[in-house]
Structure 1
Amino acid sequence: MRLQRTLMIFLLGFLLLNLYPSAMARFVVEKNSLRVTSPDNIRGTHDSAIGNFGIPQYGGSMAGTVVYPKENRKGCRDFDNSGISFKSKPGALPTFVLVDRGDCFFALKVWNAQKAGASAVLVADDIEEALITMDTPEEDISSAKYVENITIPSALIEKSFGEKLKKSISGGDMVNVNLDWREAVPHPDDRVEYELWTNSNDECGIKCDMLMEFVTDFKGAAQILEKGGYTQFTPHYITWYCPQAFTISKQCKSQCINHGRYCAPDPDQDFSKGYEGKDVVLENLRQLCVFKVANETKKPWVWWDYVTDFQIRCPMKEKKYNKECADNVIRSLGLDIKNIEKCMGDSNADSDNPVLKEEQDAQVGKGSRGDVTILPTLVVNNRQYRGKLEKGAVLKAICSGFEETTEPAVCLSGDVETNECLDNNGGCWQDKSANITACKDTFRGRVCECPMVDGVQFKGDGYSTCQASGPGRCKINNGGCWHETRDGHYYSACLDIENSKCMCPPGFKGDGIKSCEDTDECKERKACQCPECSCKNTWGSYECTCSGDLLYIRDHDTCISKTGAKVRSAGAAVWVILIGLAMAAGGAYMVYKYRLRSYMDSEIRAIMAQYMPLDSQAEVPNHVSENRA
């Protein structure tokens, strides 16, 4: 048994050494910034390596006072046994404990300091070298008890920098520093791309248990982010390959598929029983194909449902880690089994599997991301996450990858970050009456930016002023202008015109912003100047009245009778008509009378002329003789 395990460890080490060409292998140490703010003689900014345990404050920063203990300086023993406490007093900065490297695991040093009240731990290297990543210790029951309970951040610093801190502290200086993770993850745009390098093996020990627990806890948040289009998630699985010289060995045949091209360690590290490494490779491949098929149907978040359901329904310890159980899970999720099997291909073929070949290529570091050698590994915006795989901590890292003000609501929840706008409105402009503020809470802090409300954009510096601008601005708190209602009359100094200023309406005077006072038109404009008029000032206007039964006409500033004016006007019209008719009748009568008299006079003269000539006229011819002829 011991020989088999020794051979397996040797073989796995050989596989790891041969995984990449040496020229390509590159492990990147993820760093954050450590800035000394006092004393002045050591002030400056330095790099520090983020520890791969605990909870780094991605997207944020922490200020603290550095303490270097007088005993137990490597932090390998409980500080409680020496009566040392690092708890900060009320109102004081948190305590950052500086310990030396050596003699025990990094994680144990941090755990001992955390128990004594430290808020963060700085580990000073003991040799001059490039920074390294402080990883968790080899898996064992004793270390598991404290590693998963570490909640404070930690960082490794260079030896020379550590010596400066120690010298300053021993000289009586108060050393204040700021640990800053705000740029630890790039945040170029409004979408975060992240990857999880995982494994389907649920019997590999403490790390596998922690990974499975994380996947279950993070599923809800991951699916919200993915369904909302805020993130693009891709699962990955680490595989190794067997050197050509060992492909026919028992070890490679039991751990690999496709003739040694894709391998995984034996789950229980025993070749003679239980599941084999190739069983893990096949399930890893199946989970990759579940993601690919789900992604083709525009539902990539179904991967989270599959891996959590498979973990519950098909565990190794119940001997259900097999294809039959996996197919049942696939059917329950409505996925096409044939498409998944087609994606998986032939595991016995002596040729590359396109899906797993792509995974091996992806393990090699590209750009700013180093090689993936730690399992599990989370990569956010092409930067490897360091720290505990815990929902809140990972969500902080993902949320720090969004461009400011573009974070989804899940990133601004109380369990992820504090809302800085709640404290004095973040020092930004606000209009309490309209419940409008320029303070925008972001994952990294707050920004003062004039808001847009109901389609109306406010403009200003965001700190002292913000004014509604453009069409529709008067709908929003009257554009910041004066307005008032009295006795059912409403007046506003806001003009709904682009780039217009607040102007008091007619009948008022003032700045139009804070106040508009009523103008007394009776005194200042001398309204109602007609002799019969009297003037009374009103709010925003004036009233003119006339004495007696007179009516005031404002356009002409005059008074007229309320009743007589109408009667006289009507009577005059009637009399004009009657007189006209009378004159017309009289004229007609005179013409008629004149013509009638003329006719009768001529007839009488003619008759009388027949009997007696008139002295005044010649003899009239005999009409009768003429008639006879």
Structure 2
Amino acid sequence: MKTPLVVVLLFFLFFSLKAERVESGFHVERASFTVSLPSKLKGKYDMAIANFGVPLYGATLVGSFKYPKTDQDGCAEFDANAFNTNSSYGANIMLLNRGECPFTTKAFFAQKAGAEAVIIVDNIAEDLITMDAADDAESQEYVKNISVPVALITESVGEKFEEELSAGNAVIATLNWTDVLPHPDSRVEYEIWTELTDSCGAKCDAQVGFLNDWAPIAKELETKNYTQFTPHYLTWSCPEGYEDSDVCLSECINHGRYCIPDPDDDLYSGYSGADVVVSNLRALCAFKAANDSQIPTKWWDYITEFQSSCKMSTGLFNSYDCAETSMKRAGLDTSSWKNCIGDIDANSENAMMEEQIIAQSPPSESTRSSVRILPTVVINDVQYRGKLARGEVLKAICAGFPNDLKPEMCSDSGLINDKCAQGADGWNTCLSDPNKSGETTCSTTSAFPYYECICPKGLHSEFSDSLNTWSCVSVQQTARSVGKTSTVLASVFFSLLVLVTCLFLFYRWKMKQVMNQEIRGILSQYMPLDDDEMEEEEDTARLNAGNDSSSIRLGRSGSPTAMFGVENGRGGGFNTSRGEFDHL
């Protein structure tokens, strides 16, 4: 049952009021570029970083602007000679007009045509805005494949460049992302704003995948005190006076104080917005429990376990027991977690949810931007813009460190160094055998932490039922074990074959005995008559010959019987002159 129109209107009012509050504190994240040629356009200009693509945090890009001769909106694949290639210098920076198709479509086709950065010119006389990707499957597919920086410039600035490029002149510029992220000290503070919904399509799938991919990096950075991480979840409040409406009852907890839109846009079936709010609250309280345990990285164990076990598709998303099991598997205290969640039906505030409202809508005098795009990563109080992917987010976080204090994983050498060299992290970790599995040999990999522990040569990992764990065993030992198992199976099979054969032969013998007994019984009913009776019958037959060709007489049992045949129950007869059955 879909949501009625009146409820939709109320829903729209509900979020419009909240969006108006947030809008006043929203900051557009900007980078800059400097034009060096032509001289009449020399100067520094601002550009708004898109919420997709890959901004080059901490770096610069020198190149020349390109403006297509046709299809300047960039809504279709470009022809081979679409660019004005005069005075080409450095990287190809594609300039496109806004309108006619989504931003992601423009960026994707520009990148496919050879652009190394994409700048979109606004078609409205307004201040800079943040470009975001739509939630539909096609846009999200483009997002996954856009690997260049994307930005927007104002209409007035863009017209100057387009006029120069259309005249065949070169425009040379340096795009600069070095000052986007502040780095006040040796530790980077960052936040990830998400929503524990896993059934909203490609965007949700990407979000869940990112958290799983990011978990080992986050734990490594946090353990070595390079970063301080905080999870956050966006929430809204129900408009005053509507707390008992269908919308607020379905979308909110704590009497309309904390709300989330219905994940499937149906108030009366499926999961509700309130289910999502409760799951968010449980995750926040899990983070508090992890911090109280002095091991904050345990939160990542909780969230990855929850996302794996408590999916919407399995019907366990809103299950308290499933969330509690995830807490226990992460090694976190559940008693303080329960107290933190509190009574979601009470007409009272929840401390954890109040913190979210303050963080997402800071005071107007704050330099911190309001959060209204999900998912969002905030690094040193600046919102990250770009693709939500492990490598891209790591580069952005690394840009938040002073150059002389960057962790090893931020440097190119750190990413390609042999982690399995003697004395390196991987070598030491595997040698210590932390899992007591015997996997003491280090093997390099292409993904963080760039190594894995495996069994020494001649051994392989095998699960032991008796020990209830994985361990390294000899390949020969396994082969002998397999050989013994094969011998036992062959013996069992042969024994069964002999038994079945004997049973079959016995069955055949038994059936033969039964058939013989039946035949003897039938024959006994038709034994030959006494010799005297036979002679008398023959004399009588000769006397009556010629009178009747088929005389009838009474047999010994008194029933009418044909002289030359007795009908039996099988449709044949016993021939008295030959002493045998016909058609038996």
CA–CA separation in structure 1 for the residues paired with 2:10 and 2:22: 22
CA contact (8 A) 2:65 2:93 kept: yes
Which residue in the other structure is 2:338 paired with?
A: 341
CA–CA separation in structure 2 for the residues paired with 1:268 and 1:24: 25
Tell me, what secondary structure is at the counterpart of 2:114?
coil
Amino acid of the structure 1 residue aligned with 2:62: A
CA contact (8 A) 2:281 2:352 kept: yes
- 1:392 aligned to 2:385? no
Which residue in the other structure is 2:550 paired with?
A: none
CA contact (8 A) 1:56 1:153 kept: yes
Which residue in the other structure is 1:422 paired with?
A: none
Which residue in the other structure is 1:191 paired with?
A: 187
CA contact (8 A) 2:252 2:274 kept: yes
Q: Deviations over 1:603-625 (max 9, x none)?
A: xxxxxxxxxxxxxxxxxxxxxxx
Amino acid of the structure 2 residue aligned with 1:131: L
Amino acid of the structure 2 residue aligned with 1:141: A
Tell me, what secondary structure is at the counterpart of 1:244?
coil
Amino acid of the structure 2 residue aligned with 1:129: E
Which of 225, 246, 267 in structure 1 is aligned with 2:242?
246
CA–CA separation in structure 2 for the residues paired with 1:10 and 1:192: 43
Query: Shift in Å at residue 275 of structure 1?
Result: 1.5
Amino acid of the structure 1 residue aligned with 2:129: I
Which residues of 2 match residues 124-523 of structure 1 at below 5 A? 124-137=121-134, 139-321=135-317, 322-366=319-363, 367-413=366-412
- 1:115 aligned to 2:112? yes
CA contact (8 A) 1:251 1:271 kept: yes
Tell me, what secondary structure is at the counterpart of 1:372?
coil
Amino acid of the structure 1 residue aligned with 2:397: I
CA contact (8 A) 1:33 1:47 kept: yes
| Cα 1:346/1:213, change in 2 over 3 Å | same
Query: Shift in Å at residue 414 of structure 1?
Result: 5.5
Tell me, what secondary structure is at the counterpart of 1:196?
strand
CA–CA separation in structure 2 for the residues paired with 1:327 and 1:295: 17
| Cα 1:124/1:346, change in 2 over 3 Å | same
| Cα 1:127/1:269, change in 2 over 3 Å | closer
Q: Deviations over 1:440-494 (max 9, x none)?
A: xxxxxxxxxxxxxxxxxxxxxxxxxxxxxxxxxxxxxxxxxxxxxxxxxxxxxxx
- 1:36 aligned to 2:35? yes
| Cα 1:403/1:101, change in 2 over 3 Å | same
CA contact (8 A) 1:62 1:179 kept: yes
Which residue in the other structure is 2:16 paired with?
A: 17
Which residue in the other structure is 1:594 paired with?
A: none
Which residue in the other structure is 1:447 paired with?
A: none
Which residue in the other structure is 1:528 paired with?
A: none
Higher relative contact order (CA 8 A, sep 6+): 2
Point out where structure 2 has 5 or more consecutive residues left out of the alignment. Answer: 418-584
CA contact (8 A) 1:64 1:95 kept: yes
Query: Shift in Å at residue 21 of structure 1?
Result: 6.9
CA contact (8 A) 2:379 2:397 kept: yes
Amino acid of the structure 2 residue aligned with 1:323: Y
Tell me, what secondary structure is at the counterpart of 2:215?
helix
Tell me, what secondary structure is at the counterpart of 1:405?
helix
| Cα 1:115/1:416, change in 2 over 3 Å | farther
| Cα 1:392/1:246, change in 2 over 3 Å | same
| Cα 1:165/1:49, change in 2 over 3 Å | same
Amino acid of the structure 2 residue aligned with 1:279: D
Tell me, what secondary structure is at the counterpart of 1:172?
coil
CA contact (8 A) 2:53 2:148 kept: yes
Q: Deviations over 1:272-313 (max 9, x none)?
A: 222111111111101001101111222111111111111111
CA–CA separation in structure 1 for the residues paired with 2:228 and 2:210: 18
Amino acid of the structure 2 residue aligned with 1:28: H
Tell me, what secondary structure is at the counterpart of 1:96?
strand
CA contact (8 A) 1:239 1:264 kept: yes
CA contact (8 A) 2:67 2:83 kept: no
Tell me, what secondary structure is at the counterpart of 1:342?
helix
Which residue in the other structure is 1:59 paired with?
A: 58
CA contact (8 A) 1:88 1:95 kept: no
TM normalised by structure 2 equals 0.68
CA contact (8 A) 2:310 2:316 kept: yes
CA–CA separation in structure 2 for the residues paired with 1:274 and 1:119: 44
CA contact (8 A) 2:302 2:329 kept: no
| Cα 1:350/1:31, change in 2 over 3 Å | same
| Cα 1:23/1:196, change in 2 over 3 Å | closer
Amino acid of the structure 1 residue aligned with 2:114: G
| Cα 1:268/1:292, change in 2 over 3 Å | same
Point out where structure 1 has 5 or more consecutive residues left out of the alignment. Answer: 419-629
TM normalised by structure 1 equals 0.63
Tell me, what secondary structure is at the counterpart of 1:245?
coil
Q: Which has the larger radius of gyration?
A: 1
Tell me, what secondary structure is at the counterpart of 1:131?
coil
CA–CA separation in structure 2 for the residues paired with 1:208 and 1:161: 36
| Cα 1:11/1:104, change in 2 over 3 Å | same
CA–CA separation in structure 1 for the residues paired with 2:16 and 2:332: 38
Query: Shift in Å at residue 83 of structure 1?
Result: 2.9
CA contact (8 A) 2:66 2:84 kept: no
